[in-house]
Amino acid sequence: MTIERLSTDSRMSLIVTHNGTVYLSGEVANDLKAGVEQQTRETLANIERLLQQAGSDKTRVLSATIYLKDIEADFAGMNSAWDQWLPAGSAPARATVQARMCDPDFRVEISVIAALADAAGCVTNDH
């Protein structure tokens, strides 16, 4: 089975696909001065763009791991942006944890695993 790596440098790939599955690296926002809700929106927009590039979309997300700088302060704001982004009936398996971020201005980082489009190139939601 072929492993495809996209947007790769010496340390990591933003996208890896294998056996009908797309794996995204942890994504963060561009505007690090924004609050957690806006950082989450930007992060999810980055994820959506990468999923599209890989041949998938947000309705095919299987699993998400969400890292928050301060889970007590940021959980509600992150969930507000998440709930607006996620289509009804598309909730993935999800874990949310508090983490020490590599940059003190990061409030949220999200990594997802998603199913690729079917063999005909159609993105479907089969639940």
The per-residue pLDDT for range 91-114, each reduced to its tens digit, is: 999 999 999 999 999 999 999 999
What one-letter code names the amino acid at 85? W
Going by C-beta distance under 8 Å and a sequence separation of 6 or more, which residues neighbour residue 9? none
Going by C-beta distance under 8 Å and a sequence separation of 6 or more, which residues neighbour residue 4? 15, 16, 17, 18
Mean pLDDT of the chain: 93
Reading the block at residue 60, the tokens are: 């095919």
Cβ-contact 6, 13 below 8 angstroms:
yes
d(CA 122, CA 5): 21
Q: In order of start, what are the domains of the chain with their CATH numbers?
A: 3-7+15-115 (3.30.1330.40)
Q: What DSSP element (H or E) covers 82? A: helix 71-85
**Is the pTM here over 0.85, yes or no?**
yes
Q: Is the pLDDT of residue 122 over 80?
A: no
> So what's the pLDDT on residue 1?
78
Identify the residue with better confidence: 46 or 126: 46
